[in-house]
Amino acid sequence: MAKTNLKLVEVDYASEGEANCKALGQIFERIGDKWTIMIVGALSRGPMRFNTLQRSIPGLSHKMLTTTLRGLERDGLVTRTAFATIPPRVDYELTEQGRSLHEPLLTLASWARSHQDYIEASRKSFDERAAE
């Protein structure tokens, strides 16, 4: 039953010392951010301008985009390069480290995709059972 490659399991999140757990939590907070995943996904195909980025992600507001981008920049996962043209133009691009995040996220996306139907069905049946 998916015993996995045990070599990887040195990590074992949510079990180690509290300090470590807390540190990992910091990271997960960024990754878990609703938009981070989408933005990294979009940028994985190359640098993008602010507006292009926003339009490529439905439902992402102006504000949330800037906020999330700041966070990613702070974490060294994205670089921001501004051109002093007029009108202004700003390109965002994944750093080496940012690109390395893409792969794990793909794994997750792949999981999500392949379990999407199952989950939807589970929810439906659960809700029906709950509505007695």
Partner DNA sequence: CTGAATCCGTCGAGATACTG
Partner DNA sequence: CAGTATCTCGACGGATTCAG
Q: Please report, as ranges, the residues that interact with DNA according to CB under 7 A.
A: 33-34, 49-52, 59, 61-64, 66-67, 69-70, 80, 82, 87-90
d(CA 125, CA 66): 39
Shortest Å distance, C-beta 94 to a second copy? 10
d(CA 44, CA 46): 5
With respect to DNA, which residue has the nearer C-beta, 45 or 110?
45
The interface partner of residue 111, options being DNA, a second copy, none and the CB cut-off 5 to 8 Å by kind, is a second copy
Determine phi and psi for 123, rounding to 5 degrees.
Answer: -60, -45
Q: Confirm if 94 and 39 have CB atoms less than 8 A apart.
A: no
Shortest Å distance, C-beta 86 to DNA? 8
Pull the structure tokens for residue 70: 């700041």
Neighbours of 90 (CB within 10 A): 14
The interface partner of residue 55, options being DNA, a second copy, none and the CB cut-off 5 to 8 Å by kind, is none
Nearest to 36 by CA among 84, 101, 110: 101
Shortest Å distance, C-beta 47 to a second copy? 14
Shortest Å distance, C-beta 132 to a second copy? 15
* Residues found near a second copy in the complex (CB under 8 A): 1-2, 4, 8-9, 11-15, 18, 21-34, 37-39, 41-42, 45, 56-58, 73-77, 96-97, 99-113, 115-116, 118-123, 126-127
Pull the structure tokens for residue 123: 């929810």
50 Cβ neighbours under 8 A, 6+ residues apart: 65, 90, 92
The interface partner of residue 50, options being DNA, a second copy, none and the CB cut-off 5 to 8 Å by kind, is DNA
